Structure formats: structure tokens, C-alpha cells
Chains A and B, each alone.
Chain A
């Protein structure tokens, strides 16, 4: 070693740990996926056990796939590639270990609480509030460790993969915190602070961007590092990668409302979601092409190298999924596809094809390096590839058939204008075969994954854990980075900001102020041209120095990502409710109905039933009057749903008798032959927690739900009295069940669904507090 060089030993132990964790949890999450897909075909697989029902296991599957499988894989890839790209060891062994064990603890906590029915009732955000806090803390640990490492770096320039990692860290933190703001009522229960449409918008701002910034941006960073590495070729176009990054970060955040098309969400937001989703086509495909074209001149290696094979297919699936996403965001397409299996298929082409294959490629690339050996079997890796590819294609094609079939049937009207298929179960029976193919396709993928586990296990056995190292020249030159204040105070930033402000004033303000804005815009442009003519390198220097300082760059990324959310969410929080409730407003829940609603959330009913009737003739004929914002204004959390494995329940109240609901919940096939809905016998055995109601009502009252004033005892007494009334009614119909059982509370809630009253100014004022 010369006096001016330094040998860096990377912390690859943490990379190995995250990689193995991803593989183990991935297998668990995918196995649960195959089980719940099977439950939709074979009802008996719910085993009449509460912790094994579809409604409770589906959140376990989605959370395991996203946070346990992709999360651990992402951390492995980020830590491995970042150390090498910045030529520095991870800043802290302690923080790295805390990150790893903390994240695994969170996963275990999720795996225990979700099957037991502890849920916040929002998709991919089901975990209860103590776990939410743990996630936030561990994410901060990750961020500190990452940025601290950047601060120690020997390579001054930040490669584009690092940009994507930075975007992931700051944006996920923002999304996760805002969507998980809750008011606890106990250690295991809380209510989201947002309700109704606000909750729906915040949820899909988060839900859509969990896909964007948890499942996409970190994997794109991984793509930009590992694909060139595996192909031994530089990235096709670094220019394109820069445009790809900024476009994606800016646009993605706006697209969340496309999950709520034709719902009661205000129309301008729906249009905004659709437009920005369509705009996403360009950066997504720019990134895909950049990844694929990096393989130029190396295509022949795909025949022999399983790593490149998985990467090429993974990037191709990224292209497919990001083509299909904007397509599904076109309102007329969405009218058919929403609430059907088409959406499920779309999501899985992304997770299995893009995330799963990029993970597999990365694992096959890393294992021989991290254990200093050779891959045990290339033929087994090839078998994994083909089983996985065929599995995904079967899965996705089956979901296309299923979704389009059911969507068409549900929307179909005969010549007289009546529903062609009035019985929802008819549509379920018609998709039995594609649902079976889904199980088969998913099963193939799982078998392929199992082969990978065996292959990697044998690979690891044949080698020895080894940490990489690198010799770098120490750089004693003066620090040319720029601080946050320096970046903002630079002429480049100030000119840019002035151009934005003055152009907005010019375009959007009328009269003299608008005219002044126009003149200032022109003056700013002229001044900028003169300034940079004199100092031609200034703007470039500013950008370059920006990239050498990670914190200002991070702030800029956060601003770019936050704009969309602010523009969409702030106006909705301050919306004029009187103009959107259409004269009716949801009736306040009685204490017993509230207890029943919490059970509805806990059992995960929203995984199969929506509470949102879209303004289509077929839906109004099938379910009743279309839903309005007033219908769910007091709902914390909202329960609009995203998939109809069963019918919409927005107006099911009063449609059937209490005895029908009781019998149906005990044995769904007794009243709905062929239904794949689980039975819920434990609801007739377990007791309603009446004593928790006062604190729950207190929490909701503080969130603006105008419950009538009552003492704790009055609340409990009212709940028990209503329960007794329902139990007595059931007894008259020869159904013996005690009044304090959960089924009674659930029936009370179901019978209330869709009950509204005239909206007066007083009640509206209360909700806008």
C-alpha cells in the first residue's frame, strides 16, 4: 500500500444477512399467496379458523411480499452497491445490525398480529400503530446509516443508482408517516386521523407510491448498478438515466388518484391522476430501454448467464407492467377493470416479474461473490427462470381472462335495460377456471423460487463468507461540496425559482398583477441569459457541486416528490363539503354499530367487498344509488375497497334480515351455494368488547365525528340495549345467540350500511373542523 492509498473492507456481512432474510421471507410470503389464491377456489382451505381466513391472510401476503421480500432484497442491494459506488464501508456496524434485526422484528410482529386480526384496515398499511412507529424508527436508522456512509465517501460523484436510493429513503418516509397518522384507542387499535374521501386519497397517495418508491425506485437503482456490472458494459445512456430519474420522481407521486376513478373522489383529482399516469409512460419506458440497451453487444450472454437472463426478463416485465398501469388508468378502461382480477394480474406482473426476477438476478450475482465460490448449478438456475416465466405468464393471462370476463358480466345489461347477470355469484362461477390457473401459475413460480433456494444453499455450502475490499487513493483536495443554503442562494437556483413564480403569475393571474408577472418573467429570462453568458460555467458548476453534496440533493428530491402530494391533498382537506355531499350525509354510528365496524375492519372484509357504488347504470341497478362523499364522511378508516371478490356492500343495510346475515356468516353456502366466502363461526362465540367503546368514541369525536354527548356508562348501556334488541329479534326466528357476541355487533353494522340523512349545515360544520 502506498502512502496515498487506503484499503477499504466492505461490510458484506449485513448484505448476506439481508439477502438470506429476503429469500426466507419471500418463500413464506409467496406460499401464503398460493394458499389464499387456493382459498378463492376451495373454501375449505379457510379451515373455519379465524387466523387462516382470506381476509386476514391477504394482508399478511401483501405485507410479506412488499416489506419482507422486496424490503430485505432492497436493503441488501442498496448496502452492497452503495459501498462500492461511493468507495466507503458502511458508516456504522451498530446501525447496520440495528437496521437488520429491527426490520426482522417488525416482520415477525406483522406475521403475528395480522392473522390475529389486529389491523388498521388500509391496504399495505394494516400494521398497528406500535409497529408503525417501529418501522419509522428503523427507517430513520437506515437513512442515518446510508447518508453517513455517503458523507464518508471517497468517490465524490453520486452515481445515478444512489439518486434512486435517496429518492426511496426520503419519499417512503414522507408517505409512510402521513398515511399512518393515527389516534390510538389502545395498544393494538387506532383510528386514522383522516376520514372518508380524505383517507381514501391519502391511502392511495401512499399505496400507489409504495409501488413507486418501495417497489420501483430502489429496484431501478439496483438495475442501474447490477445490469452494467453483470453485462460488463457501461449503462447505455447516462443522459437518459438523469432524465429518467427526475421525470419519474416528479410524475409518479401525482398518479395515486387513478386507484379511485369513478368513485366519489372529486373529478378534478381523478383527471389529474389519469393524466399523470399517462405521462408516466415516457420515463418508465425510458428507464426500461436504458436497462435493456445496456445489454447491447452482450445479448449472446443471455443464453448462458442466468443472472443476465433474469435481469433482461425483469426489465421487460417492468416495461409490461408500466405499460399496463397507465392503460388501466384511462377512465374508460378502468370502468371495466377496476374491482376485478385484471388489477390483481397487473400488480403481480410487476411484483413477480419485475421485483421477483430482479431479486433472483441479484441473488445469483451476489451469492458467488459474497461466499467466494461458483454458482452450484446453472441448469437449476435456468429451470428456475423458465418455471418462473411460465408461472408469471399463466398467472397474468388467467387474471386478464378472469378480470375482463367478470367485469363484462357485471356491467352487462339486456335489451330491456335489466342486469344480464343479476346474481353476483354467477360471475364468480364463471371465473373459477382462470382462478385455478392463477393457483397453478403462482405454484410454478413458487417451485422455481424453491429451486433457487436449494441452488443458493448448495452454493453457500461450497464457499466461505468473504467481505469485499477495495484500494482507493485518498483525496486530500479541498471540499468543493455546497451546503443547502449555498445551493439555494446560488444564481442558478434563484433564477429558476424566479422563472417559475413569474411565469405562474403571468399565466394564472388576471389584470395588472398578471401583466407585471409577465414583464418580470421576461426580465428574469433576459437577466439569466446575460448572467450565464458572462459566466458560462456557473450553471454547470452549480449542478455538479449539487451532486457532490448529498443533503441539498436530497432536499431537492423531497421537494420534487412532495409537490404532487401537496397539490392533491391540501385542497381536499379544505374542500367545500357542502358542495359534494349532495344533500345527504352518513348517519352517525351507534356504539354497537361502531363495534361491528371495527370487527369488519379486523376481519379484513375490505379485501373482498367494496363500499363504493360507481355512477354506472349496472352498478346502480345491482347495488343501489351511487355513493357520494357524504356516505362515508365519518369513516375512519374509509372502506371503499379495491377488489370485489364479493358484491359491494355500500347499501346492503336493510336489504336482508338479521337472521339472513347470521345464517350467512355462520355458513355462507347455506344461503349462497357456490360462494367462496369463508364461514365466521367464531363470531358467535367471541364477546364484543363493550368496555372499549367509550375510548373509541372519544377518539373519533376528537377527529371531528359528531357523536352525541354521552357518559361512558350511557355508551356501554346503549350498545348493550341495541345488542339485546337484535338478539331478541333473532330468537323470534329460532336463532339462539347471546346479545354480547361479536356477530350481533357485526349485524348491527351491516344493517346500517347505506343509511344516510339529510345534510344540514350544522353537521357539515362539525365535519369540517
Chain B
């Protein structure tokens, strides 16, 4: 019954590639945010508060 699930050799790589790509993007984003200067962070976070 369970043999119905289609599994081809090369397809098993896809989740791994996907996870590797995500991990890389995630690490880059984290690294980037920690490299941002406090003044830039402060300025960016206050952008909505600049009133009319």
C-alpha cells in the first residue's frame, strides 16, 4: 500500500537544497542585522513616527 508514494532518487535532494538555501539566507540576514549600526536601526524604526 505504501509503495504508492513516488520517490525518485534525485528528488530526495530537493528538500536538502531548499534547506541549505534557506539556512544560508537566514544566516546572512541575521549577520546583516547585527552589523547594522545602532543609529541606523534607531532611525529606521522611527520612520512611521515622523508625523504629518
The residue that A560 contacts in the complex, of B25, B32, B43, with Cβ under 8 A, is: B25
Q: For the complex, is A266 an interface residue (Cβ under 8 Å from B)?
A: yes
Of A48-56, A186-194, A242-250, A475-483, the one contacting chain B is A242-250
Contact B4 A628 (CB under 8 A): yes
Chain A residues in 8 Å Cβ range of B28 = 496
User: Are B5's CB and A272's CB within 8 A?
Assistant: no
Q: Inside 8 A of A157's CB, which chain B residues have their CB? A: 43-44, 47
CA distance A232 to B50 in the complex (A): 10
Asked whether, in the complex, the Cβ of B21 is within 8 Å of the Cβ of A500, the reply is: yes
Known: A159-B44, A580-B6. A563 touches B16 (CB 8 A): no
Contact (A84, B52) CB under 8 Å given A159-B44, A266-B7, A540-B35 = yes
How near does chain A come to B11, taking the closest CB pair, in angstroms? 5
> Is A508 among interface residues, defined by CB-CB distance under 8 A?
yes
Question: A267-B5, A508-B17 known; A247 and B47 CB under 8 Å?
Answer: no
Chain B residues contacting A470 (CB-CB under 8 Å) are: 52
CB of A503 within 8 Å of the partner chain = yes
Chain A interface size band reads: 35 or more
B45 touches A238 (CB 8 A): yes
Q: Are A500 and B48 in contact (CB under 8 A)?
A: no
In the complex, are the beta carbons of B26 and A246 less than 8 A apart?
A: yes
- Docked pose: A234 CA to B48 CA in angstroms: 8
A235 and B33 CA atoms in complex are apart in Å by 15
Is the CB–CB distance between A238 and B6 below 8 Å?
Answer: no
The main secondary structure of chain B at its interface with chain A is: helix
Per-residue interface assignment for chain A, residues 529 to 568, with 1 indicating a CB less than 8 Å from any chain B CB and 0 otherwise: 0000000000110010000000000000000100110011
Query: Main SS of the interface on chain A?
Result: helix
CB atoms of B33 and A239 under 8 A apart:
yes
Cα–Cα, bound, A272→B2 (Å): 18
Tell me the total A-B contact number using a CB cutoff of 8 A: 135
B2, B7, B13, B22: the one within 8 Å of A250 (CB):
B22
Cα A470 to Cα B48 in complex, Å, equals 13
Given the complex, which residues of A lie within 8 Å of B33, measured CB to CB?
A: 238-240, 242-243
Size class of the contact patch on chain B: 35 or more
Interface residues of B in 9-52 (CB under 8 A from A): 11-22, 24-26, 28-30, 32-36, 41-50, 52
Partner of B47, one of A155, A268, A500, A507: A155
Chain B residues, CB < 8 A from A436: none
Asked if A228 contacts B49 (CB within 8 A), the reply is yes
- Complex: A540 Cα to B40 Cα, angstroms: 12
A234 B14 Cβ-Cβ under 8 A: no
CB-based contact B4/A615 at 8 Å: yes
- Stretch of A298-306, A308-316, A571-579, A657-665 with 4 or more beta carbons under 8 angstroms from chain B: A571-579
Q: How far is the CB of A117 from chain B (nearest CB, A)?
A: 35
Q: In the assembly, what is the distance between CA of A232 and CA of B46, in Å?
A: 9
With both chains docked as a complex, state the minimum distance between the C-beta of A199 and any C-beta of chain B, in angstroms: 17
- Residues of B contacting A575 in the complex (Cβ-Cβ under 8 angstroms): 6, 8
Residues of B within 8 A of A (CB): 1-2, 4-8, 11-22, 24-26, 28-30, 32-36, 41-50, 52
**Which 9 pairs between the two chains have the least Cβ-Cβ distance?**
A267-B5, A239-B33, A234-B45, A266-B6, A238-B45, A580-B6, A246-B29, A159-B47, A468-B52
